[in-house]
Amino acid sequence: MAMQMLPPDWPGNFWAHWAIFAVAVLVFVLLMVIVFIWFERRAMAVMQARLGPNRAGPFGLLQSVADALKILIKEDIIPARSDKLVHWLAPVVAFVPALLIFAVIPFRGGAILADLNIGILYIVAISSVTTVGIFMAGWSSNNKYSTLGAMRQVASVVSYEIPVVLSLVGVILLAGSLSMQQIVAAQDIPFILLQPLGFLLFFTGALAEINRAPFDLTEADSELVAGYMTEYSGMKFGLFFLAEYAEALAISAIVTTIFLGGWRGPLLPDWLWFLVKVFIVFFVIVWIRTTVPRLRIDQLMALAWKFLFPLALLNLLITAIEILVWPAVSLWVFVPINIAIAIVLVVLWSRFFKLGWGKVEV
Amino acid sequence: METTKEIVINTEPFVVNFGPAHPSTHGVFRMRMTLDGEVIVDMEPVFGYLHRGIEKLAEERTYTQVIPLTDRLDYLASMSNNLAYCLAVEKLAGIPVPERADYIRVIIAELQRIASHLCAVGFFLNDCGAFMTPVLYMLRERERILDLFDMVCGQRLTYNYMRVGGVSQDVPDEFIPAVAKFIGEMPGWLDEYERLLKENEILLARAKGVGILPKELAINIGASGPVLRASGVQWDVRKADPYSIYDRFEFDVPVGTAGDCYDRYRVRVEEMRQSLRILRQAIKDLPGGGEVRSEVPHLIRPPVGEAYGHLEGPRGELGFYLVSDGSIAPYRFHVRAPTFINLTALADMMRGWKIADAIIVFGSIDICMGEVDR
């Protein structure tokens, strides 16, 4: 019964619960996006020997608000001979899935909009829809840069989706459930320790999923100007921007939930633990962005197929064997074993394969 | 038995205009690329968006008035341009240069080379997709060199410092200690950049073996500077035809082996180290006091004839060809712009690579549109 699924400390009937929680999630996402943009710009500024936004509000905290206002009052330009309906629809298609992911994120014990028993599957299914939005944007813009960016996105999504999903299966085996709540509940040991290889694979794939460096090929600013959003302006561009950061937030929240023990932690209140972990994950994403150069599209595909994919399969195999053969052993035993396996596999495999194919004869 | 049928997908090459307004065309360069998917089938460079007619303008000015025009050629290495032009006029009119001025010129020119290479390497890494971090680090050090130039001439971009027969004014007393301090700290900064990206796996994958310029082609097109040396040709005007007082200094000419983007990047970094070596010697030997500018009439009237003055600029052999008809203005003024000539190899280096490679091949040539279009 739906009513019985309600956590006891939440008010109202079934529909009130949904309404309140949906609005709360929306506000949370929008606020966090604003904070994330500020956080990224300041963190990058510190790493790049400059100041970053520091004029609007204390420590430049209101910079994103000012940017949002500016974007809202800008002219909305639709390129000539573009597919107007698709052009209009694309930002929505790109943004909505990023928002939908938060339905299954447990923000604290019991604080989850919909505790689906297929939580992870839902995330995997929903997050891929963003690609459709990006391809729609690239296709409808009637711009070659946009089309190239969109083509890159579709080509890479085929490559990294599989390892991303496979690397999650190990976690599912350990937790014995697809529900995000159950996964958090199962993490007496954070899964990052039990599944170090799975974590690395998922995180790498996730960076590609949200188009973050070193896999930001779709909008590679030094190559494709702005990729699929070259022709967007005003609030439509704002929506893409929002979607990008909402996805970054979603990935941070997913990594937190699945690998870092979600809201669980000593001393601090559980919602604060969740936020702290989300910010740590996002900081790592920003850190990577400021550090490494970008991969080429064929190199990304080679990485996904030749490196991530076999390792994800191996990881699944090893995890399954461990669970089948030694079901009674305390999981702590597996922590050093799995970390050692992860290090050996990553080092070995990186010797085996070569990135990319190089020159094509024309 | 099923017969296997070969499926042929007909794809059509399409043309993309990269530039003239594009974030990584380093100015207003335009490349008409014919692409087959991501692969570059052909590339045609389009020049001229920054043409200002500097060569013609120079023919309407006196020899000294031309110096500010040379600032506007390669605006990332204005001092080298000043020097190259002054060398040409001195050759044409037979004007001697005081020893102290020669040393100051060498110090300034080598500082300028470091500043320019910092830009080149930084923006090359930025083109590789290392989001702004390397370039901002390197601009931080370039800033210090600009401060040094600010000290000697009060300018930060277009210096107008060199004069025919010397330099416009002596360096202030605090300049040499400031340079010494910079020389002391710069190797540490260079090591820091090397630690950050030299062995980076992604950079190696992106730049090694990409955009190879074969030795023969490099010589045939007349390439010069780091682009030529990365292809394995040991040729540096400072060694081959020592101008000014470069024969007094000890330094090596770093050369690459493969002629790929990575080698061009390495050659530039090594050249910065060699420049620091020259600077160390120059500061040690700098004669104190004395004139920094020989007696030159306000209106120089060189004898009828022609002269070609050249030097090893940061981007290659920068030459000025002057023809005098005995009047106060050059009859003909021609610039041998190194990057313009280096660019002629661009299409050969790009063909068959992907768009992403095209950007870094282009970045590794390190052009400056002010010089290419003149």
Nearest residue on chain A to B42, alpha-carbon basis = A362
- Give me the residues of chain A with pLDDT under 70, please: 1-14, 110-111, 220-222, 327, 353-362
List pLDDT tens digits, range B51-61: 888 888 888 88
Q: With CA atoms as reference, report the closest residue to A119 among A69, A175, A159, A198.
A: A175
Residue A66 lies inside a defined structural domain of this protein: no
Residue A157: per-residue pLDDT: 85
Put simply, the answer to whether B356 touches A47 (Cβ < 8 Å) is no
Q: What is the rounded distance in angstroms from the CA atom of residue B242 to the CA atom of residue B29?
A: 33
Tell me how close the Cα of B14 comes to any Cα of chain A, in angstroms.
9
Tell me how close the Cα of A151 comes to any Cα of chain B, in angstroms.
9
List pLDDT tens digits, range B97-148: 888 888 888 999 999 999 999 988 888 888 887 778 888 888 888 899 999 9
Tell me if chain A has a CB within 8 Å of the CB of B286.
no
Put simply, the answer to whether B128 touches A293 (Cβ < 8 Å) is yes
Which pTM does this prediction carry? 0.84
List pLDDT tens digits, range B294-338: 888 888 888 888 889 888 888 888 889 999 888 888 898 899 888
Put simply, the answer to whether B356 touches A213 (Cβ < 8 Å) is no
Number of CB pairs, chain A paired with chain B, less than 8 A apart: 101
Task: Name beta bridge partners: B312.
Answer: B317
Restricting to A residues 125-144, those with a Cβ less than 8 Å away from any Cβ of B are 144
Put simply, the answer to whether B202 touches A297 (Cβ < 8 Å) is no
> In which domain, by residue range, is A249 found?
81-352
Residue B73: per-residue pLDDT: 86
Tell me A305's DSSP state: I
List pLDDT tens digits, range B238-277: 888 888 888 888 888 888 888 888 888 889 999 999 999 9
Residue A55 lies inside a defined structural domain of this protein: no
Q: Is B90 exposed, middle or buried (0-12, 13-18, 19+ CB in 10 A)?
A: buried
Please determine, for residue B371, whether its predicted confidence score (pLDDT) is greater than 70: yes
Tell me if chain A has a CB within 8 Å of the CB of B234.
no
Residue A301 lies inside a defined structural domain of this protein: yes
Residue A284: per-residue pLDDT: 92
Residue A183 lies inside a defined structural domain of this protein: yes
Residue A139 lies inside a defined structural domain of this protein: yes
ipTM of the complex: 0.80
| Residues whose CB is less than 8 angstroms from the CB of residue A47 and which lie 6 or more positions away in sequence, other chains included | A287, A290, B133
Q: What is the rounded distance in angstroms from the CA atom of residue B343 to the CA atom of residue B204?
A: 23
Nearest residue on chain A to B200, alpha-carbon basis = A292
Tell me how close the Cα of B180 comes to any Cα of chain A, in angstroms.
24
Residue A111: per-residue pLDDT: 66
| Residues whose CB is less than 8 angstroms from the CB of residue A147 and which lie 6 or more positions away in sequence, other chains included | A138, A139, A141
Tell me if chain A has a CB within 8 Å of the CB of B37.
yes
One-character DSSP codes across A221-237: TTTSTTGGGTT--HHHH
Q: With CA atoms as reference, report the closest residue to A273 among A164, A210, A190, A174.
A: A190
Q: With CA atoms as reference, report the closest residue to A130 among A226, A221, A251, A40.
A: A251
Structural domains in chain B plus CATH codes: 53-373 (1.10.645.10)
Residue A1: per-residue pLDDT: 39
DSSP collapsed to 3 states, chain B: CCCCCCCCCCCCCEEEEECCCCCCCCCCCEEEEEEECCEEEEEEEECCCCCCCHHHHHCCCCCCCHHHHHHCCCCCCHHHHHHHHHHHHHHHHCCCCCHHHHHHHHHHHHHHHHHHHHHHHHHHHHHCCCCCHHHHHHHHHHHHHHHHHHHHHCCCCCCCCEECCEECCCCCCCHHHHHHHHHHHHHHHHHHHHHHHHCCHHHHHHHCCCCCCCHHHHHHHCCCCHHHHHCCCCCCHHHHCCCCCHHHCCCCCCCCCCCCHHHHHHHHHHHHHHHHHHHHHHHHHCCCCCCCECCCCCCCCCCCEEEEEEEEECCEEEEEEEEECCCCCCCEEEEECHHHHHHCCHHHHHCCCEHHHHHHHHHHHCCCHHHHHC
Put simply, the answer to whether B129 touches A213 (Cβ < 8 Å) is yes
List pLDDT tens digits, range B158-202: 888 888 888 888 888 888 889 889 998 888 888 888 888 777 778
At B4, the pLDDT band (50, 70, 90 cuts) reads low
Interface with chain B: mutation pick from A223, A229, A295, A306, highest number of B CBs within 10 Å: A223
Q: Is A113 helix (H, G, I), strand (E, B) or coil?
A: coil
The total number of structural domains in chain A stands at 1
Put simply, the answer to whether A297 touches B357 (Cβ < 8 Å) is no
Nearest-CB residue to A358 (from B36, B129, B209): B209
Residues of chain A in contact with residue B127, where contact means CB-CB under 8 angstroms, are 222
Are A108 and A263 spatial neighbours (Cβ–Cβ below 8 Å)? yes
Nearest residue on chain A to B125, alpha-carbon basis = A293
- Report the phi/psi class of residue B316: left, alpha or beta, with left for phi > 0 and alpha for psi in -120 to 50: left
Put simply, the answer to whether B356 touches A294 (Cβ < 8 Å) is yes
Residue A56 lies inside a defined structural domain of this protein: no
Residue A76 lies inside a defined structural domain of this protein: no
Nearest-CB residue to A360 (from B39, B130, B210): B39
